[in-house]
Amino acid sequence: MASTVIPANQAPASTTTNYLNNGHSLKSWLLTTDHKRIAVLYLISVTVFFFLGGFFAMLIRLELLTPEGDLMQADTYNKVFTMHGMIMVFFFLIPVVPAVLGNFLIPLMIGAKDLAFPRINLLSWYLYVIGVLLISHVMLTGGVDTGWTFYSPFSTEYTNTKIVEAGLAAFIAGFSSIFTGLNFIVTIHRMRAPGLTWNRLPLFVWANYATSIIMILGTPVVAITIVLVAVERLFHLGIFDPRLGGDPLLFQHLFWFYSHPAVYIMILPSMGVISELITCFSRKRVFGYNFVALSSIAIAVIGFLVWAHHMFVAGISLYAAMIFSFLTFFVGVPSAVKVFNWTATLYRGSISYATPMLYAFGFIGLFTIGGLTGLFLATLGIDVHVTDTYFVVAHFHYVMVGGVLMGYLGGMHFWWPKISGRMYPEGWAKLSALLVFVGFNLTFFPQFILGYVGMPRRYWQYPPEFQVLNVLSTAGASVLAVGYLLPMIYLLWSLKYGPIADANPWRAAGLEWQAASPPTTFNFDETPVVTWEAYNYDEIDANGHGGSH
């Protein structure tokens, strides 16, 4: 689509007051309660940690380039994959879409001036930062070697690495996420503009609502689990210690009770992004709005009932395993509803191929592969064969990277003109979308094969016959790294040199496009009144202007 842009020499943006130029001091940023500025603070901090987690990923891939353990020792390798997992899960994937895009967009999308609790929102970011400082301290003083899952009794009894500090970092980051979820739920319930009924809410808001439910119900459980691990190490209480009659399996149950739904905390907001992109770039109302909206809630609810599929070989009863296997298939239904409805939305739409849409297409394809291989793993017989192999690694990277990151990057490009007031360079963006897609598949598709033929995860050495596929994977990771570095460079470049964007460069539906680009501090001059359905692209295109009416 040809985006509506104003040449840079007519720049009106610098003369008007918006959230970015309303105060330039460091204090005006660090003590801000503006949801948009807090989103920018999150954007900076999660980006730093994304590249740090990516650095550890590159160390893993470099070690696995050759069958011998020649780059690092086994102990170092254990610490490297643990840091990769902890950073990516707790400090990137969980906060990334809700805390950056959700924080920025939810008040704009519902026509509010801010989130319900702006100071708690700032507190969330500070908690995140404290977590970041703690995990950095752990990283610099010896690391952790348990994997990001902290399985007992290794974590409680045997390892002498920094479990308590790392656990505290995850605990504090967890409270950051609890407060974000609480803030979103209250905001979506209480702060909607007049006329914006639940049936008119953007699907991104529905997705974040479902995410927030999981955040407030699941995160406290992992928080207490981490506390129990810590007191077991510090005071020798024996909650999970089998020598005291405790049960290590209980740890796994409590841990996965949060950590499986946490996967949906990561993917649901990205699914919300995809709903926005698909409708805008096919100029159509989403197919089956109610089903897409409620499938988010269904995923949140059913997602709480599938955790023990992480424990099929850990010693749970066969009957329990069968029930959890069935429920895991069941949670695939609402995810499939979304994929079918997105593709049905494309049908007879006027599709255009701007960068955000390329990421949306990437998301649909990669998430489908990630989701379907999840069903392989839900099948008890196959799970026994591929448990703890690279098949599992490939599966969850297809969902976490192929899904969450594709949605995040797509959304970042789509809303970049709203966040920064500038357009990104389309050619470079298309190139990097292509690099991400190719690099991603080259990295992780070989891992499905590696896992299927028996390469276990978390080993620093492997038999020589696995080398070809590992070399492919490492080569893919290098392409992927370039694909991730490029957007950071050209988005920063566009802050100064990008063409100035008008309020609605995509002629998109949604209240956020009625606010200025970038929005003023209080978003709207007067509270909007909503009289139209979501995604009314027929009316927008018929009237020839963005917005509504």
Partner 1 sequence: MSDNQAIAVEHEAHNPALLHHFSSEQQQKNAASLGMWLFLVTEIMFFGGMFCAYLIYRVQHFNAFAAASQQLSIKLGAFNTAVLIVSSVTVVLAVKAAEAGKRKLLVSYLVVTVLLGMTFLVVKGFEYREKFEKHHVPGPTFNFTDTFDDNGKQIPVNPKEAELFFSIYFAMTGMHALHMIIGCGLFSVLAVFAWKGHYTPGYYTPIENAGLYWHLVDIIWIYLFPLLYLISRHS
Which residues make up the interface to partner 1 (CB under 8 A)?
Answer: 112-114, 116-118, 120, 178, 182-183, 185-187, 189-191, 194, 216-221, 223-225, 227-228, 231, 235-239, 243-247, 250, 254, 257, 522, 527
Residue 375 CB, shortest distance to partner 1, in Å, is 29
Give Dmax (Cα) for the chain. Answer: 74
549 C-beta neighbours (distance < 10 Å), count = 9
Judged by beta carbon, residue 52 or residue 239, the one nearer partner 1 is: 239
Judged by beta carbon, residue 222 or residue 298, the one nearer partner 1 is: 222
Nearest to 484 by CA among 406, 424, 541: 406
Nearest to 293 by CA among 258, 337, 353, 249: 337
Distances (CA, A) of 406 to 39, 269, 549: 19, 12, 32
Distance between CA atoms of residues 19 and 37, nearest Å: 7
Judged by beta carbon, residue 133 or residue 224, the one nearer partner 1 is: 224
Residue 36 CB, shortest distance to partner 1, in Å, is 13
Judged by beta carbon, residue 48 or residue 224, the one nearer partner 1 is: 224
Distance between CA atoms of residues 276 and 282, nearest Å: 10
Distance between CA atoms of residues 138 and 520, nearest Å: 40
Judged by beta carbon, residue 89 or residue 185, the one nearer partner 1 is: 185
Judged by beta carbon, residue 235 or residue 319, the one nearer partner 1 is: 235
Residue 152 CB, shortest distance to partner 1, in Å, is 12
What's the chain's length in residues? 549
Residue 19 CB, shortest distance to partner 1, in Å, is 13
Sequence-ordered list of residues with C-beta below 8 angstroms from that of 490, at least 6 positions apart, any chain: 424, 425, 428, 429, 432
Residue 244 CB, shortest distance to partner 1, in Å, is 5
Residue 191 CB, shortest distance to partner 1, in Å, is 7
Nearest to 171 by CA among 238, 252, 227: 227
Residue 419 CB, shortest distance to partner 1, in Å, is 20
Residue 157 CB, shortest distance to partner 1, in Å, is 14
* 310 residue type, one letter: H
Judged by beta carbon, residue 139 or residue 511, the one nearer partner 1 is: 511
Judged by beta carbon, residue 236 or residue 385, the one nearer partner 1 is: 236
* DSSP assignment string, 57-93: HHHHHHHTTSSS--SS-HHHHHHHHHHHHHIIIIIII
Residue 103 CB, shortest distance to partner 1, in Å, is 14
Burial 127-163 (b: 16+ CB within 10 A, else e): bbbbbbebbeebbeeebbbbbbbbbbbebbbebebbb
Judged by beta carbon, residue 263 or residue 479, the one nearer partner 1 is: 263
Judged by beta carbon, residue 224 or residue 322, the one nearer partner 1 is: 224
Which single residue is written with the structure tokens 């790392």? 166
Residue 253 CB, shortest distance to partner 1, in Å, is 8
Residue 175 CB, shortest distance to partner 1, in Å, is 9
Sequence-ordered list of residues with C-beta below 8 angstroms from that of 318, at least 6 positions apart, any chain: none
Residue 520, class by beta-carbon neighbours within 10 Å (0-12 exposed, 13-18 middle, 19+ buried)?
middle
List the structure tokens of 458.
């978390």
Contact between residue 198 and residue 112 where contact means Cβ atoms under 8 Å apart: no
Judged by beta carbon, residue 234 or residue 322, the one nearer partner 1 is: 234
Nearest to 256 by CA among 324, 210, 206: 324
